[in-house]
Amino acid sequence: MKRYQPRVRAALAAGAAGLGLMLGGCSVKDELLAPQQPGVISPGDVIGPTGADGLYVGAVGNFKNALLGGSSNTETIWQFAGLMTDEFKSADTFSQRNDADQRTTQTNDAQLSPIYTSLQQARGYSRTALGYLQQYKPTSSNAQQAEMLFTIAFAEMQLGEDFCNGIALGETVNGVPQYTAPLAAKDVFTAALARVDSGLALATGADAATMQVKNALLITKGRLLVDLGQFPAAAAAVAAVPVTFQYAGTYSQTTNDNGWWIMTTSSKRYTVGDSVDAAGRIDNAIPFVSAKDPRVPTTANGKGFDTTTPFVGQSIWNRDDPIAIVDGLDGQLIQAEAKLNASDIAGMTAILNALRAAPPTQGIFKPSGALAPLTAPLTQDAAVSLYFREKAFWTFGRGQRLGDLRRLVRQYGRSQDKAYPSGTFFKNGSYGTRVAFPVPDRDKANQQFTGCMDTNA
């Protein structure tokens, strides 16, 4: 993924060099003896429609890499957030991974800073590509422009869901940082929603490429509206998205490996979470291992990287399996939550049971067979618990769990110790009380940022 942009630039440089040899009027001798810098690409080399296409491809690659990873033993926001929730546990010796698992991550955390930066950089790459597309392909790149607005909005949504109130959405203009005041999460979501609407205004074609981007924008709009507590509007936004839709990040063994495969199967640094461990019961944690649910298949395999933690690997993704970033399943879950918030417990249960009866494919993974139908809960509180448990199994490892735990506190009134993993931490002490990652100290280059506005969900 991340190699696309350099390849495009190399191709542009090679094409420009060839053109110069064909058209130049200098002697062959002078041309051959002239200093050569084939690795240097001037700004003029990426000006024009071809350069705009190259920046677009590079921006998509950087966006996917910021979410999905695939580079050695370096995690992304989806993976680090999986540690902070109940999806995964640290089987590693790195203190930063243990801190994330314990919910005690500090503002100077060496793992968190590059994760945060990669999301912010993904926004920047997409903004640059969008500007070039608007300038050099104003009427022929509507789907590409819409996709850039999708990637910007999605990155901002992820920042708002996973980091504390106090996120600055600055940008770089002509190489100069333009700092902005930090925003509360709700304002980050509102800004992202405006970008989605701008993308939808461009995604008006009926061709397959445009429809792919349109559906990705609609699912993102639905998620943002849920984050803002606007549940009827969220359900309406995703109503037309087919359950079979997927916008996925792909891998190949000649480029990047699947990030989850690296951190689990290959290196054994992350083990799948459960409701019990060596310290005993983990309050509020979903039993992803012991439930033996076909949506999260697992395999026990000795000890983890730290040589002491029992290792249980995920069996969803292999080395080059794709991962769905947004898909039609997300739309169904959004509609189910809208039913929940309307106190239509029967309607919510009906949507969940339809998914269980015909489990959709995500990436190339499909649960083995239908799941038994659920019985509709008798109380609203029980319905909330059932919904978020079902969603946790359906969206496992796809970057939604931390935002959902925050919403259990913010929108559903549960205290953090009744929503997040709590109790005795299996490596040392007790679980912390953080409900989101802190914005790293690195952001203090922006003099308007002095730290998180608050520690609220």
Quick one: what percent of the chain has pLDDT higher than 90?
Answer: 85
Give 166's pLDDT tier (boundaries 50, 70, 90): very high
Four-point Cα dihedral 394, 397, 401, 403, nearest 10: -120
Q: Is the pLDDT of residue 83 over 60?
A: yes
- Does 229 score more than 50 pLDDT? yes
Report domain extents, the chain: 47-252+321-441
For residue range 232-264, list pLDDT tens digits in order: 999 999 999 999 999 999 998 888 899 999 999
Check pLDDT > 90 for residue 207: yes
Is the pLDDT assigned to residue 30 strictly greater than 70?
no
Note the pLDDT tens digit of each residue in 406-448: 999 999 999 999 999 999 999 999 999 999 999 999 999 999 9
**pLDDT score for 174:** 83
Asked if pLDDT for residue 17 goes beyond 50, the answer is: no
pLDDT at 92 over 70: yes
CATH top-level class of 47-252+321-441: mainly alpha
Helices (H), 168-284: 185-202, 208-227, 231-238, 259-261
The model's pTM is: 0.91
57, with CB counted inside 10 A (0-12, 13-18, 19+), is middle
pLDDT grade, residue 228 (50/70/90)?
Answer: very high
Span 60-71, average pLDDT: 92
DSSP 266-314: IT--EEE--SEETTEE-BT---TTTT--TTS-EEEEEE-TTSSSEEEEE
